[in-house]
Structure 1
């Protein structure tokens, strides 16, 4: 390890916690919950592998707080019906080698595939657009009671995550899920205390954070993943995002992960990224630079990082405190160790294709190809960089049939 690299230096998150280095494994969809939506032993094995790989913070794929609201068939759920022994095993395996294992908590809102829910809940009864209408049902606007019950569900899941041995939690407020929907003027057109103005649209995320903080206490780490913008004309804007970040920082959030985009505009997987952005690798550095002038809360930038050089430069420039990596970790589980050992390290995450762009999009190959790598690692196999895109397509179709060809999470 090159001890001179800033990437190797610890990060003091709060008065009682220092993260061992600046590597942050961002959440990916593992699809490794069992039929009761509890964690499988394979999920624990996958996170043990990442802990051995040298990462500072490892964030789980989204754990749903309500088993009637699943983003995908294989989601894990943490609620009053969960087998907590399975979660304790997961926490034990994933937090070895001084790794901080954080659970990402989520509710999909209306981003539930039609096959899983006839009438999903959302801030307003507005369907997804841009061609997604056939795959996702029109939602029902949440009542006040349903909003309050969902806030309680987030708090309960966070309290149980702490009790089971997880080292922190992250609130998923990005990528068009329920909290993101509340923040968006496109998707939240309520006229009560939960919508209408930009300040009212912030209320839900602030109430979720407040309930979680009360449930886990003042020193347990609580982070958030937030869009820099939705990248849609009538969606959550950069200015609104900065206002939310400032409110969360004032409320005491411990770590903010910056991402962007939604199902309707998937910037989180690199869609529409400018050439100047690609040169710096990370997708959201410009936003982070502006944010750094407003808050002192530790930041994570996720999306696009590939090389030790770019990661080191971003941290050295104090644009971000940690570097978020996801798909690279699906191919190189010990990426932090390799990157720290070699200043010239570059991860190969070339986009895989069947040769037919429409088919790639239909099968969400930018996501599902990497999910196949996660399944391999969970089964004790090594990642396979040359894994056939066609083979993944066949595997998905056998497992899910025509339901495979729906838009899914990133």
Structure 2
């Protein structure tokens, strides 16, 4: 089959739901909520753009489950039904043309900047490495009662998402956020039933998954985004990741998205080898995490989504044809060319215009801050009904991003009464 034929094949999940093609929009943090973390009409407009562009599965940016703990200014928080009408509008727009729309649920844990949260929480009171401590405070270790409350918050948010018309949720278990912190022996040094052995460290996400299942219907999809590894000394390993996937597959999870890294080593933005650059074999196959996906395939039979690195229709088709992944996970290419899946399905050739962003400022480039922030700005343009820009302007783009982030941070603090 040619790429258009192969990528147009539907994917049936074990709960009976069907994703109409093999293109999946991976979560990107839109920061299009209000300063008090409410839903805005920019979100339906943005997700309608992607649904009209031919995507088969669209996963929202990280919707937070606790207003006291957010990752960025402008995050949407879903604690209750106060925004149910706008949530329904978001779900309808993002589900056009048969697209499946899933809400990603998240808690940042200690990855909440000081400008937003001076007392973040985590499994253990383990600080960030020295160069990041100016941005992130040392967290407080969670009490058992707080852990149990967070689990129920995830379940409650999932139930509201289902009521609003979303077809599923994705647990954000990657990139160093709270679920990832529990899984990592570097961040989780607890000595109770929530830490220590790999089985204890995965208890948090297992209980969360069970609670979400109990709170939602049988055909409501539940997936997870999981690190293949942290790429950090003493952190979450590939073998531990395989163990988590096996456990969740046995429990009936509908989809596993594979990514990697965290704020201290953002492999998700810079390639599977992190700061050392991607391997030649990774460059040739485009996707960063296909080799790990092949290891997963040998252990479990669960639908897989691999995200990171795809740039051409031939690379996407080859990844699916190889059997390493069922869905092609896409992020930055969709931030600048939201209709390219439709073009590929119509038989056009495609090469993404995405390229690494370099400011020349080492700390900015090493943390891949612009790799996230500049593309987030393009989501904002689409949310306003404008066309995204395809190319950044280096330091000028950095200044624009920093000005917006500073303004939002100040307004968030003022609203919180600090």
TM-score class, shorter-chain normalisation, is over 0.9
Structure 1 residue 341 displacement after superposition: 2.7
For residues 184 and 396 of structure 1, do their structure 2 counterparts lie closer, same or farther at Cα, with a shift above 3 Å needed?
same
- Deviation per residue, 1:179-210 (Å, 9 max, x gap): 00000000000111101111100100000000
Q: Which residue of 2 is the match for residue 111 of structure 1?
A: 111
**SS state at 1:323 partner:** strand
**SS state at 2:202 partner:** helix
Segments of structure 1 that go 5 or more residues without pairing to the other structure are: 405-410
For residues 124 and 355 of structure 1, do their structure 2 counterparts lie closer, same or farther at Cα, with a shift above 3 Å needed?
closer
**SS state at 1:104 partner:** strand
| Counterparts of residues 193-208 of structure 1 (less than 5 Å) | 193-208=193-208
| Counterparts of residues 263-282 of structure 1 (less than 5 Å) | 263-270=263-270, 271=274, 272-282=277-287
Q: Is the 8 A contact 1:308 1:340 kept in 2?
A: no
For 1:2 and 1:89, the matched residues in 2 are separated by 36
- Deviation per residue, 1:137-160 (Å, 9 max, x gap): 011110010000000000000000
Structure 1 residue 397 displacement after superposition: 3.2
- Deviation per residue, 1:295-332 (Å, 9 max, x gap): 11100000001111111011111110000000000011
**SS state at 2:377 partner:** helix
- Deviation per residue, 1:375-407 (Å, 9 max, x gap): 111111111113423443232333333988xxx
For 1:3 and 1:280, the matched residues in 2 are separated by 15
Segments of structure 2 that go 5 or more residues without pairing to the other structure are: 410-418
Q: Is the 8 A contact 2:15 2:254 kept in 1?
A: no
For 1:246 and 1:322, the matched residues in 2 are separated by 19
Q: Which residue of 2 is the match for residue 305 of structure 1?
A: 310
Q: Which residue of 2 is the match for residue 337 of structure 1?
A: 342
| Counterparts of residues 5-44 of structure 1 (less than 5 Å) | 5-44=5-44
Q: Which residue of 1 is the match for residue 84 of structure 2?
A: 84
Q: Is the 8 A contact 2:36 2:74 kept in 1?
A: no
Q: Is the 8 A contact 1:5 1:312 kept in 2?
A: no
Aligned residues: 404
**SS state at 2:12 partner:** strand
Q: Is the 8 A contact 2:228 2:258 kept in 1?
A: yes
Residue 292 of structure 1: which of 293, 297, 301 is its match? Answer: 297
Matched, 1:217 2:217: yes
Q: Which residue of 1 is the match for residue 46 of structure 2?
A: 46
Q: Which residue of 1 is the match for residue 159 of structure 2?
A: 159
Matched, 1:325 2:330: yes
Q: Is the 8 A contact 2:3 2:313 kept in 1?
A: no
Q: Is the 8 A contact 2:88 2:165 kept in 1?
A: yes
Structure 1 residue 128 displacement after superposition: 1.4
| Counterparts of residues 222-261 of structure 1 (less than 5 Å) | 222-261=222-261
**SS state at 2:72 partner:** coil
For 1:189 and 1:384, the matched residues in 2 are separated by 44
Structure 1 residue 231 displacement after superposition: 0.6
TM-score normalised by the chain length of structure 1: 0.95
Q: Is the 8 A contact 2:70 2:112 kept in 1?
A: yes
Q: Which residue of 1 is the match for residue 67 of structure 2?
A: 67
Q: Is the 8 A contact 2:15 2:218 kept in 1?
A: no
Structure 1 residue 18 displacement after superposition: 1.3
For 2:365 and 2:96, the matched residues in 1 are separated by 37
Q: Which residue of 2 is the match for residue 316 of structure 1?
A: 321
* Stretch of structure 1 that moved more, 116-125 or 350-359: 350-359
For residues 41 and 292 of structure 1, do their structure 2 counterparts lie closer, same or farther at Cα, with a shift above 3 Å needed?
same
TM-score normalised by the chain length of structure 2: 0.93
RMSD across aligned C-alpha pairs, in angstroms?
Answer: 1.8
**SS state at 1:222 partner:** strand
For residues 11 and 187 of structure 1, do their structure 2 counterparts lie closer, same or farther at Cα, with a shift above 3 Å needed?
same
**SS state at 2:13 partner:** strand
For 2:143 and 2:363, the matched residues in 1 are separated by 39
